[in-house]
Amino acid sequence: MSKLRVKPGTRAAKPKPGLFRENLRALPCLVIVILGMVIVFYVFYLGLKGS
């Protein structure tokens, strides 16, 4: 069996400092997608209601 080596200085657990800025750039896209879904569901609701 082979032994797994774990390096003591891995950075996998720590988030990168630029990660928040990348997520901040994705927020307008997320808002547009959610708004589009709300509009589609509202139109579908109006169609079921029959008004």
Map tokens 């988030």 to a residue. Answer: 15
Q: Is the pTM of this model over 0.75?
A: no
C-alpha distances (whole Å) from 38 to each of 1, 27, 41, 46 are 55, 16, 5, 12
pLDDT, tens digit, 9 for 90 and up, residues 21-38:
778 888 999 999 999 999
First to last CA, the chain: 70
pLDDT value of position 26:
87
Question: What is the band of 20 on the pLDDT scale with cuts at 50, 70, 90?
Answer: confident
